[in-house]
Structure 1
Amino acid sequence: MLTVTQAGQADVPAVARVLASAFSEDPVMGPLITGRRRDARFRALFEALLRSGARAGMRVDAARDEHGRVVGAATWEPPGRRVTFLQQLPELPAYLRAVGMRGFFAGVRLELALARCRPRAPHWYLAELGVCPDRRGTGVGSALLRSRLATIDAEQYAAYLESSSPRNRSLYRRFGFTATVRITRVPHAEPAGMWRAPRNR
């Protein structure tokens, strides 16, 4: 049994753990952190990203199991509320501790490559969706998408995301997303931008 609710400040460590476990092996984000204490540094990175996102009004959805444990999470930027450099600036020391100078500049290049492909039309942006390793394939990702897309459809907005793997793209296609752009200049990966048009009432 799953419950999806909007996460609060107290949920940041649990959400960061879920996202870190999901993205540490991702072909796009995984290479940003190498070396010792990699798991802890990924958690620290996502805690910093979540704090930056909160300043921009980012929505964080948490899927909880029957015991209240966070087993999945998704972060969304509402239309017109992109996370800016100024909102990220207070977290710069945390970013550098997590990824190092080399990883930091690789992350900046990655953000620029992704931003170049984002549509200009108003949309909700799915920045991250991750599920605990022991709950993958059990419907957690679908529950997270279904919950937020219900709100997006009621508001008649479009949605956009980047997907780094064919397996993930098959999930998003089931929810109406279509691959619209191949994102280049990303080392070791071929992510695709996926768009979901507004639904008419």
Structure 2
Amino acid sequence: MSIQTITVRGAAPADTDTLAATLAEAFQSDPVLSWCYPDVAARARILPTAFRVILEAAIPHGGVETALGGVAASVWVPPTAEIDDERMVGDLATASEQYADRMFTAMGLLDEHHPTHREHQYLFILGTRDAWQSQGLGTALLRSVLSGCDRDGVPAYLEATSERNRSLYERHGFETTKVIRLPDGPPLWCMWREPA
């Protein structure tokens, strides 16, 4: 599949269930979410609901994109978005069941290290279903937003949750600014990208 043939479009509320399932599959073995939800069966049950909460909060702000009928998705938080963080975190706590404290710890760490010195596009999540990985979908989703960042002079920020993801983001101009670590858990790479 050629990267030029991949069509990326904005997600609509009707896409929520499909994209929640896609992201749940993509992150089932993710080191950070495995730390948040250490029981494999509980993680498989929790993730679709948790991603549905995130998508429902983000889609109205226009930052969610998808490719190939929902087999890949990205969740960006534009600089102007005003997401109801308290409601979203409360709903995530409910979805997280007995692991709510772990989720709060992870979200608190992200919030503590999130840059506030400049407005930026924030890539919260990017994921592709297992059978479709390494076929250019992540690149297509990244380019869709990063081309606008370059055009408008807007930087971008994310936290990579694995070495593989970090390598993808480095290929698209992101640089690691710091490494943070969950308590007795895996690292996250805070990554910043200046517009080209």
Q: Fold conserved (TM > 0.5)?
A: yes
1:48 aligns with 2:45: no
Where does residue 117 of structure 1 map in the other structure?
Answer: 113
Compared with structure 1, are the counterparts of its residues 30 and 58 closer, same or farther at alpha carbon in structure 2 (3 Å cutoff)? farther
TM-align CA RMSD: 2.0
Provide structure 1 residue ranges, at least 5 long, that are not aligned to the other structure. none
Deviations 1:3-28 (A, max 9, x none): 10000000011111111011111111
Counterpart contact for 2:93–2:104, Cα < 8 Å: no
1:183 aligns with 2:152: no
TM-score computed with the length of structure 1 as normaliser: 0.86
- Name whichever of 25-34 and 139-148 sits farther off: 25-34
Inter-partner Cα distance in structure 2 for 1:118 and 1:184: 14
Q: CA shift at 1:127, angstroms?
A: 0.1
Identity %: 32
Where does residue 24 of structure 2 map in the other structure?
Answer: 20
Counterpart contact for 2:159–2:188, Cα < 8 Å: yes
Provide structure 2 residue ranges, at least 5 long, that are not aligned to the other structure. none
Inter-partner Cα distance in structure 2 for 1:51 and 1:149: 23
Compared with structure 1, are the counterparts of its residues 159 and 82 closer, same or farther at alpha carbon in structure 2 (3 Å cutoff)? farther
Counterpart contact for 1:177–1:194, Cα < 8 Å: yes
Deviations 1:99-123 (A, max 9, x none): 213x111111111101111111111
Q: CA shift at 1:82, angstroms?
A: 5.7
Runs of 4+ more than 6 Å apart: none
Count of aligned pairs: 190
More helix by share: 2
| 1:50-69 correspondence runs (5 A) | 50-54=55-59, 57=61, 59-64=63-68, 69=69
Where does residue 15 of structure 2 map in the other structure?
Answer: 11
